[in-house]
Amino acid sequence: MEKLIELKNISKVYTDKKNVLRNISLTINKKQVIAILGGNGTGKSTLLRIIAGVERPTSGKINYPNKTIKIGYVPERFPKNIRFSPSEYFLYMGKMSGASKDGLTKRIDNLLHRFQLEGLKNQRIMELSKGNIQKVGLIQSILLKPNLLILDEPLSGLDFEAQGELVKIIGELKQQGTTILITYHESNILESTVDNTFLIHNGNISETETTVKQSIKLLIIRNVEKSVVKDWGGIHKVVEKDQQLYLYVSAKESDVILSRVLQLKGSVEAVSTVTLDEMERTI
């Protein structure tokens, strides 16, 4: 696989001494869809900004073998106070990136249509709803078919149709050679599109198994020792709380684990489905 970006020992410490990222090394290849997951405040957005080149790491190095790499970036919070209509804004952004007006107009019309923004194309962005502003953020990032597309929580605020359209566009861009880096919470819509998943925890990054991407069950049990369950397969995390054990297990294995608990004369207090983010928050 051809290398697109290489991160070597990236660390980020903010002025409040908060060490957000520690010695992260990562190679991103071409034509991949990579998810970077983790709880709130774990440094996902910081890592994405560093990869986009809009934030500098405290230490470490980023190599872009292709020096003329085109990067599309959707920030977590797209600015709200833009005094232009979507059409005007995209035309300016496209021209800033060096596109010609003719090709750009066609592309803008097509994207406005796909994201159902046609009716709002002449209304100022600052007057649009949160979801529509998010669509504007997405469109500006794919105006010119980037080599690397960085999407920081692109699904938040999007309606179901727009989420589907985004998944389709991600697939198309991947086919055309774009690498996509994405973060998301509480959604499974992208899981089938993602090739690799990385998890950020305590400033460190690790590649996760595919099972972690699938839905996670939380089993709250009693009368079973932590030392007994900790080596069972399919368990991502065990937390001991108020004489209960909180088992975060992959959905596939949950039935097997439940029957084992019952065999050991343990009692099951609750079973629920949780997201990766919720699991992270309990750490």
Partner 1 sequence: MKALIKYSLHDYLRSHKYFPPISTFMILIFVYYSYTPNPIIDSYAVTALIVYVISAWLCVSVLSLDSHVQRQMMILHIGGENRYYLSKLISVWLITLILTLYAFIYPITFGMFNESVSLKIGLVSIVNHIFLSILGISIASLFSKVITENAVNSYGGLALIITISLATLGIYDVLPTYLKNIIWIIPPAVGTQPVLFNWNGENFLDLLLFPFIWMIVYSTILLYLFLRLAKKSQK
- Contacting residue, 82, 167, 212, 238, with partner 1 by CB under 8 A: 82
Residues of this chain, 32-61, that bind partner 1 according to CB under 8 A: 49, 52-56
Smallest separation, CB 271 to partner 1 (Å): 41
- In order, the DSSP letters of 6-33 are EEEEEEEE-TT--EEEEEEEEEEETT-E
CA torsion angle 237 238 239 243 (round to 10): 160
* Size of the residue set binding partner 1 (CB under 8 A): 24
* Structural contact between residues 69 and 247, judged by C-beta atoms closer than 8 angstroms: no
Q: Which two tokens stand for residue 179?
A: 């690498």
Residues of this chain, 165-184, that bind partner 1 according to CB under 8 A: none
- Contacting residue, 48, 71, 166, 218, with partner 1 by CB under 8 A: 71
The answer to the question of residue 92 lying near partner 1 (CB under 8 A) is yes
CA torsion angle 201 203 208 212 (round to 10): 20
- Contacting residue, 96, 227, 233, 263, with partner 1 by CB under 8 A: 96
The sign of the CA dihedral 203, 163, 54, 17 is: negative
Per-residue DSSP letter, 49: H
The answer to the question of residue 73 lying near partner 1 (CB under 8 A) is yes
SS3 55: coil
Smallest separation, CB 125 to partner 1 (Å): 11
Residues of this chain, 130-149, that bind partner 1 according to CB under 8 A: 140
Smallest separation, CB 280 to partner 1 (Å): 25
Instruction: Please give the residue ranges that form the binding site for partner 1 (CB under 8 A).
Output: 49, 52-56, 71-73, 75, 77-79, 81-84, 92-93, 95-98, 140
